[in-house]
Every structure is written in structure tokens, then in C-alpha cells.
Chain A
Amino acid sequence: MTYNLKISCTKDRLKEIRQFVSDILAKHSFPEAESNKVILAVDEVCANLIIHSNHCNPSETLELSIAYDAEKIVFEILDHGEGFNLSEYKEPSMDELIKAKRKGGVGLLLVKRIMDDVQFIHRSGKNVCRLVKNLS
């Protein structure tokens, strides 16, 4: 079963994304104790895409699709902004972030800890972030 949501690239839409993911997880009786983390991972990716790839431009859009089957949930987030190369991403150390008094930089780290697979790909002229959560 697949569900879709399309929103404009502004930060105030993040709550709507979280509610959408939350509703679908609840509909499929996803364990409540784990659902907050999954919602968080999707929120983090969407926040990054809205802020860094699309510079909070309300005329740009994000398309979120959630495909649910017996073994896994696949989240795909499509956008037309600046692409992201995961292979160039270096995991920050917490010590360095704390010393630098950085207020950001751990979003993707959270996503990688929560999801079973994280990929950023380019498909048909769009950037796609694909997140997989195994159900077993």
C-alpha cells in the first residue's frame, strides 16, 4: 500500500509531515514505542531538504511517498533542489560539534541510526531520498 503527500518547502509544514507519517504508522499498528523515531527520521530528512536543498522556497515542493508491505516500510522523499551526495558525508564527532558550539549537524546522524537503509539517488531529474525501515 502506498501513501503520498506533497507539500511546499517551508519549515512550518514539518508538523504536517510528522502527522501524516504518524497517522500511517498508527493505521498499520506500527509499535508506538518505535514510531516516534521513524517520524523523527523522516522529519530530519524533510527539514534538511527544505532548508539546505530548497532554501525554504515556498514555490518548491517535496513529495513524500510511503510504501508499506509485510517486510518493510519504504519512505521516498522527492525534490528538485540541490542534490546531496551521501558518499561525501562525513559523520561528525559529538566532541567536535560540542566544541564548535554547533546548533546543527546531527540530523543525518539520527536518520542513519534509526533507519535500516538510507540512500540519496537521482532519478528522472529529481533527487530522491530513500529510507527503509525493516519490520522484522
Chain B
Amino acid sequence: MLNIERDTEGEVSVLQVSGEIDASSSIFLDEEVGKALEQGARIAVDLTGLEYISSAGLGVFMSYISDLEAKKMTMVLFGMKEKVFQVFQILGLDQLLTIVDTREEAIKSANDL
């Protein structure tokens, strides 16, 4: 079960993602991230409520990295549980994506970049 809600803080769209992202649900994450980036150049993704992520979810975030650079957009992930962060670390994605601890840091980072 994956739940995604969206709010905004200034120019930053914040996606609140909770539940589990696997091969059956990653498409919903992709749709929401894609929509948010079409509507604004700065997004923050709140993963506080995320309990599980598989490669399908990692793949969604990976697939936007080159667009973020090319189109001067920002995507900041925050609030990951340790077990979720470890999955990003296995492939070194923690070095390729912007990941911070709190919403405050994420909003600041999304505005700075």
C-alpha cells in the first residue's frame, strides 16, 4: 500500500510518501514525481512514512537525475528511516541524489540549489 499526498511551501512542492514502494506500486510514485516536476522546478519528497523501497522505487528517483541537471530543477529527499536509507546506500545512490534529514533542511536545500 502506497499513499502519496502533496502540499506546497513557498515555491517547493512537497510530496509526502508513505507505505511501501515495490514493483507493483512504483508507477504511482513515478506519476506523482513527474506531475510535480512538470508543474514546478523544485520538489521535496517526504519519506518519513516510507517503510520499504525496492529497486523499482530507486529506479523512479534515478530516472529523474539527468533531467534535474539538464533542466535546472531540484529534487530533495528527506526523512528516510535508516533501513530505507541503507537501500539507497547499497548502490551509492545516496551520493547521486540530494538527501537530508528534515523538512526544514529539504525546503532550504530545494530553494538554494
Contact status A37-B87, CB under 8 Å: yes
Q: Which residues of B contact A113 (CB under 8 A)?
A: 90-91
> Which residues on B sit within 8 Å (CB–CB) of A114?
90
Give B66 Cβ to nearest chain A Cβ, in Å.
6
Asked if B55 and A98 make an inter-chain contact with CB atoms under 8 angstroms apart, the answer reads: no
1/0 per residue, CB under 8 A from A, across B53-77: the answer is 0111011101111110000000000
Residues of the A chain whose Cβ atoms lie less than 8 Å from the Cβ of B91: 94, 106, 109-110, 113
Residues on the A chain within 8 Å of B23, using CB: 11, 14, 47, 50-51
Interface size class of A (residues with CB under 8 A): 20 to 34
* Residue B20, interface by CB 8 Å: yes
A107-133, CB < 8 A from B: 107, 109-110, 113-114
Interface assignment of A97: CB less than 8 Å from any CB of chain B:
yes
Interface size on B, residues (CB 8 A): 28
The secondary-structure label for the interface of chain B is helix
A residues within 8 A CB of B55? 44, 47, 104-107, 109-110
A106 cross-chain contacts in B, Cβ below 8 A: 55, 58-59, 62, 91
Q: Is B8 an interface residue (CB 8 A)?
A: no
Q: Which residue of B lies closest to A51 (CB)?
A: B23
- Point out the residue from B22, B64, B82 that lies within 8 Å of A14, measured CB to CB: B22
Task: Give the chain B neighbours of A110 by CB distance below 8 A.
Answer: 55, 87, 90-91
User: Inside 8 A of B105's CB, which chain A residues have their CB?
Assistant: none
Q: Decide if A99 is an interface residue (CB 8 Å cutoff).
A: yes
Partner of A15, one of B22, B26, B86: B22
Residues of the B chain whose Cβ atoms lie less than 8 Å from the Cβ of A37: 86-87, 90
- Residues of A contacting B64 with CB < 8 Å? 101
* Complex Cα–Cα for A18 and B52 (A): 10
Contact yes or no, A104 B56, CB < 8 A:
yes
- Interface of A with B (CB < 8 Å)? 11-12, 14-15, 18, 33, 36-37, 39-40, 43-44, 47, 50-51, 94, 97-99, 101-107, 109-110, 113-114
Q: 12 new A-B pairs (CB below 8 Å) besides A101-B64, A104-B56?
A: A36-B86, A40-B87, A94-B92, A94-B93, A98-B66, A101-B67, A102-B59, A104-B59, A106-B58, A106-B62, A110-B55, A110-B91
